């Protein structure tokens, strides 16, 4: 802790502060995280505008994970540099006053200049939430993906194990993916059922574009019985995107956690989304992070 305190002091002496924020948002109204052309609503632009009012100067954000249009987050981490001297409470409360109802800052912490929300992250975790019932839910709407066909969770969980480990995930990447390498390490991939909710929980060192949604699409196809359990391994080994079928809908996908080394301690929060925190079995899974 002494090292990080010294680094923060050096940062302040240089005339700027590096501030990390925890952010959650409902992505339904946004064209993804990343700022785009004028007139297109994005989470980044919305949050930068709010923080700029607190800082009384422009703010430029870097995020841990650039979520796509319609994708949600309850564990996003961002950082920015500023010369504005504000308390951490002022950053949180001031930003939230200026933000719409579907974006919130949950915490703020001053960090050393060596911290980077994206490049210092060592793991990211997503949850894909499926509402499995014949009747479409009226209240959850864009917070979940609805699948009216019965899904066999045991089959999905068995198929998922073929994807755990270090592999070439070319068959699960979008055509426009700009990642330099398709090799990623999946630390865990779990499928659990909680009433009518099915949760796909995946943690990796990093993800390819659409990787989680393509994994979800394959597992749901296996869950309906359209494909055998072994199909997930076959798709992985093919290294060809078209063998994996359709990409699952963005609604229902949440960035729930970003992890960093101990040299960058950040506030700990629940593993969301909010409407799942009441399930004891899911809470047990959340506590078993590697």
Is residue 168 annotated as a catalytic residue, yes or no?
no
Residue 87, both tokens: 């308390």
- The reported pLDDT for the residue numbered 175 is 76
- The reported pLDDT for the residue numbered 177 is 75
Residue appearing with tokens 């308390």: 87
- The reported pLDDT for the residue numbered 200 is 98
- The reported pLDDT for the residue numbered 7 is 53
Task: Please confirm whether the linkage preceding 273 is cis (ω < 30° from 0).
Answer: yes
- The reported pLDDT for the residue numbered 290 is 30
Catalytic one among 5, 14, 49, 68? 68
Beta bridge partners of 110: 19
Which among 82, 40, 23, 57 has a CA at the least distance from the CA of 255? 23
Distance (Å, whole) CA 141 – CA 28: 10
CB atoms within 10 A of CB 9: 11
Residues of the chain below pLDDT 70: 1-13, 178, 277-290
**Conformation bin of residue 231: beta by default, left when phi > 0, alpha when psi is -120 to 50:** alpha
Alpha carbon 85 to its chain's center: 30
- The reported pLDDT for the residue numbered 52 is 98
* 126 known ligand binder: yes
**Rg for the chain (alpha carbons), in Å?**
20
- The reported pLDDT for the residue numbered 8 is 55
Q: How far is CA 53 from CA 15, 40, 58, 83, 173, in A?
A: 20, 20, 8, 14, 38
Instruction: Show the domains of the chain with their CATH numbers.
Output: 17-119 (3.30.70.580), 121-254 (3.30.70.660)
Crossing angle for the helix pair 153-160 and 231-238, to the nearest 10 degrees: 40
């Amino acid at each position: 802790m002494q090292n990080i305190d010294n680094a923060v002091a050096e940062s302040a002496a240089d005339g700027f502060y590096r501030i990390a924020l925890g952010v959650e948002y409902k992505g339904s109204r946004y064209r993804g995280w990343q700022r785009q052309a004028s007139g297109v609503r994005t989470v980044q632009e919305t949050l930068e505008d709010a923080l700029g009012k607190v800082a009384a100067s422009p703010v430029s954000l870097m995020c841990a994970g650039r979520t796509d249009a319609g994708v949600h987050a309850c564990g996003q981490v961002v950082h920015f540099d500023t010369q504005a001297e504000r308390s951490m409470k002022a950053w949180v409360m001031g930003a939230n006053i200026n933000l719409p109802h579907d974006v919130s800052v949950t915490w703020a912490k001053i960090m050393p200049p060596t911290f980077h929300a994206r490049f210092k992250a060592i793991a990211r975790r997503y949850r894909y939430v499926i509402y499995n019932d014949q009747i479409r839910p009226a209240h959850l709407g864009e917070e979940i993906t609805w699948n009216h066909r019965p899904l066999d969770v045991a089959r999905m969980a068995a198929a998922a194990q073929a994807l755990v480990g270090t592999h070439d995930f070319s068959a699960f990447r979008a055509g426009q993916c700009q990642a330099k390498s398709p090799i990623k390490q999946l630390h865990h991939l779990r499928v659990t059922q909680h009433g009518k909710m099915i949760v796909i929980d995946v943690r990796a060192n990093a993800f390819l574009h659409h990787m989680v949604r393509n994994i979800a699409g394959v597992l749901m196809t296996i869950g309906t019985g359209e494909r055998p359990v072994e199909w997930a391994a076959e798709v992985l080994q093919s290294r060809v995107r078209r063998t994996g079928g359709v990409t699952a809908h963005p609604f229902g996908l949440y960035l729930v956690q970003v992890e960093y080394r101990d040299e960058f301690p950040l506030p700990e929060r629940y593993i969301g989304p909010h409407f799942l925190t009441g399930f004891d079995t899911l809470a047990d899974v959340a506590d078993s992070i590697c």
